[in-house]
Amino acid sequence: MPELEIHTVGGGYYLYDIFSYLAAFTSSANFNALLYGGIVAGLLVAAFQVALFGSIRSALTYFLGTALVLGIGVGPKAKVIVMDSTVPLGIYGIVDNVPWSVAFVGSLTSRTSDALTDTMETLLAAPDDLTYQSSGMMFGATILSQSTRWRAVTPLVQEGLVNFMENCIVDGSLVGIVPTGRLANTGYLNSFITNNVPLSLAYYDPVLDATTTCTDGWPQIQNRITEEVNKVLLQKAAAKYAGTPSLNLVAAGNKMGSTLSQFQNFIGSTSATAVTSIRQSMLLIAMDDSIQRLIASSGNNAAMTAYQAARTEAQTSASYSAVGISALRWVPLLKIVFEALYYAAFPIAMVLMMTPLVWTVLKGYFGGFVWLAAWDPLTAILHSMVMKASSGYYREAMGQYNGTSIDYVMSFANYLGVRAVERL
C-alpha cells in the first residue's frame, strides 16, 4: 500500500477524521451500492441519448470516463500521513485504506503548496515559530494577548498569591511602604517586589495553612510561580492540540513557550522570555484580583464602580483602535473548511462520475484541489503583513519612555490594553 503525505496548516484535527471516514465508507457495502446506482442511472441516460439523438460518441466518451474512474478511483488504496505543520512533531496521524485517487491528488497539490509556502516564508524572514506554517494564522500575534489571562492553575497557589498581593503589596502601597507609581508602571514586578517587599507586613498562606511574613513568604511564592508557569504552558498546549494522537505534551508546551518568546523578541519587548512574561501576567492578575477584593470588602461601592469603569475604558479603547482585523482569522479557517469539504465530498463525486457528467465532475472536483493549493502561499503573505501590523498595536499598548528610549513592557498600567489587542 503506497504512502502519501497530505500537508495542512492547522487542519490536521479535521482532516484526520475526514480520511478515517473516507477509509471506512469507501470500504463499505453502502458505497458500492451507491456506485451501482450511479452506473445504472448513467447507463439509462446514455441509452436514452443514443436512442433519441444517436449520440454514440457521447456514450463512448461516458463509458471510457467511467471505466477510467472505476479503475483508478475506486480500487487502489493508499496510506495517508496527515502532516500538520502547527503540531510539535509535524505528523498528526496516519490513516490506512484511503482511496488512492483522492489521496494522490491531495498529496501532490498539498506538497506543492507546502514547498512554495516554505520558500516564501523563508524569503519573508519571519522567526521560525512565528511563521504561518509553524503556528498558523495570527497565533504568534495573539499568544501575548492571551497570556495576560493566564493565572496560576493550582487554586491554593492562586489564592496565596492574591493574599500576598493584597496584604503585602497593595496594603504596603496604601501606607506608603511600597512606591505606588513604580508599582503601577514596572514591567518587572518580580524584581520590584524582591526589592520592595515590606518587612513589617504579613499574609495568610493557604498552601502552608499559616500566617507568614511577607519577606519569608515571597521566596516560596517565586518558586511556586515558576512551577505554575510550566503547568499553564502544558495546560494551554493540551487545549490547543486537543485530539492530536500521541501528543508529546512537553514538546507542545515548549513550542508554545518558544512562540511567545519569539514574538516578544519580534516586537522588541525587553522582557522577552515566556517565563518572565507569564510570571508577570500572573502577578498582574493577582494584583488586580486583590484590589477588587479589597474594594469589595471595604463596602465602598463608589470606589468599585470607578475602578471597574477605568478597567473597561482601558480595555475598550485599545480594542477600538484596531477594529476590523478580526476577519483575517477566518481566512485560514475558511481554507480548512473547504479542504475538509473537498475530501469529504469524494463519495458524492464518485457517484456523479458514474453518470454522463463524468468528465465535467472529474475536472471540477480534482481541479478544485489546485485552487485550494493556492491558499497557503497567499495566506503566508497575508500572515506576514498582519504580524507586522499587530506588532505596532502591541508597541503602542506597551511602550514606556524611560528618559532615553522606549521600553516595551507589560505593566499594571497597560496590561488591559495588551489583553485587548487579541480582540482585533
* Per-residue three-class SS string for 164-190: HHHHHHHHHHHCCCCCHHHHHHCCCHH
Q: Check the CA dihedral 184-185-191-194 and report its sign.
A: negative
How far is it, in rounded angstroms, from Cα 341 to Cα 362? 16
Of 123 and 159, which is predicted with more confidence?
A: 159
The pTM is what?
A: 0.65
> pLDDT, tens digit, for every residue of 190-241?
999 999 999 989 999 999 999 999 999 999 999 999 999 989 888 888 877 7
Q: Which of 16-25, 85-94, 308-317 shows the highest mean pLDDT?
A: 16-25
> For position 357, what pLDDT does the model report?
78
Residues 6+ apart with CB under 8 A from 2: 78, 79, 100
How far is it, in rounded angstroms, from Cα 270 to Cα 281? 15
> pLDDT, tens digit, for every residue of 143-178?
777 788 888 889 999 999 999 999 999 999 988 888
203 HSE (CA, 13 A, CB side):
28
- Side by side, the strands of the sheet bearing 77-84 are 3-8, 77-84, 91-99
Of 320 and 391, which is predicted with more confidence?
A: 391
> For position 270, what pLDDT does the model report?
58
- Residue extents of the structural domains in the chain: 3-135+330-381, 139-311
> For position 324, what pLDDT does the model report?
41
